[in-house]
Amino acid sequence: MKILLVEDHHLVREGLTRLLREVLPDAQVRTAGCIAEARERLAWAERVLLDLSLPDGHGLGFLEEIARRHPDLPVVILTAYDEPAFQRRAAALGAVAFLSKADPPDALRQALVELKGPARSLPYTDRLSPTEQQVLALLGEGLSTAQIAQRLGVEEKTVYTHRRRLMFKLGLKSAQALVRFAALYHTGLTPPSGKKFS
């Protein structure tokens, strides 16, 4: 797998490159510090890990360009700007995941492992990781975030991270919509689109 990491901060870029090579030892990793550099390397890439704040433009604008020029190239957003509006816009432009740099290390590692899998060809519920499916099922049983954390043996912050990623992947705009979706999922039914619950 060929991963293009687009990140302008040198120390962050170095750290993420090491983490990618640790988590995905068979992957080839190239980096770019700006959109202009990334644009030159897109034809090589099979996955893109994209920051939003870049010196020569906004990552969402570049994501829109990628979606237009390389519609089958999976893009994962990794940013310090964990704003719902950015998440919604990234989802609308076809990003396959939206990760926060504030996420716990284990959640980030798991998300990076998922880069190995197919990103666009699967139905949206099949794109959930095993842990995300567990969290969704436990939400469907009516458990709170604290109860889910206790059941899974993780911190509450990790459960919040999974909840946020579920909302992104399922196209849901609120925590209430996620709970309604989870309740239906728990019955064994899956709606044709999570957006019906937004």
Q: What is the mean pLDDT of residues 150-170?
A: 87
Whether residue 88 is found in the same domain as residue 143: no
Long-range pairs for 167-171 at CB < 8 Å and ≥24 separation? Answer: 167/87, 168/87, 168/90, 168/91, 168/97, 168/98, 169/97, 169/124, 169/127, 169/128, 169/132, 170/124, 170/125, 170/194, 171/91, 171/124, 171/195, 171/198
* Share above pLDDT 70 across residues of the chain, in percent, rounded to a whole number: 84
Q: What is the 8-class DSSP label of residue 94?
A: T
Q: Are residues 99 and 131 in the same domain?
A: no
Say whether pTM exceeds 0.75: no
pLDDT at 50: 94
Determine the structural domain holding residue 86 and report its residue range. Answer: 1-121
Say how many domains are in the chain: 2
| Domain identity same for 82 and 179 | no
What 3-state class would DSSP assign to 4?
strand
Q: Are residues 19 and 87 in the same domain?
A: yes
Number of Cβ within a 10 Å radius of residue 111: 21
14 and 56 inside one domain:
yes
> Which pLDDT tens digit goes with each residue over 100-115?
887 777 777 777 766 6
Q: Which of 32-36, 72-76, 107-111, 133-137 has the lowest mean pLDDT?
A: 107-111
Q: Over the stretch 43-97, which tens digit does the pLDDT of each residue have?
A: 999 999 999 999 999 999 999 999 888 888 888 888 887 777 787 788 777 787 7
Cα(30)–Cα(151) distance, integer angstroms: 39
Regarding whether 113 and 48 lie in a shared domain, the answer is yes
Is 175 in the same domain as 91? no
Final residue in a domain of this structure, among 105, 121, 137: 121
- Cα separation, 122 vs 180, in Å, equals 22
Q: Residue written as tokens 């469907």?
A: 140
User: Which residues, in sequence order, are bridge partners of residue 53?
Assistant: 58
Beta bridge partners of 78: 99
The per-residue pLDDT for 73 is: 85
Measured in degrees and rounded to the nearest 5, phi and psi for residue 17 equal: -65, -45
Q: CATH code at 33?
A: 3.40.50.2300
Q: Looking at 93, 121, 149, which one is the last position of a domain?
A: 121
Q: Please report, for the domain that includes residue 131, its CATH number.
A: 1.10.10.10
Residues 21, 109 within the same domain: yes
Indicate whether 8 and 27 sit together in one domain: yes
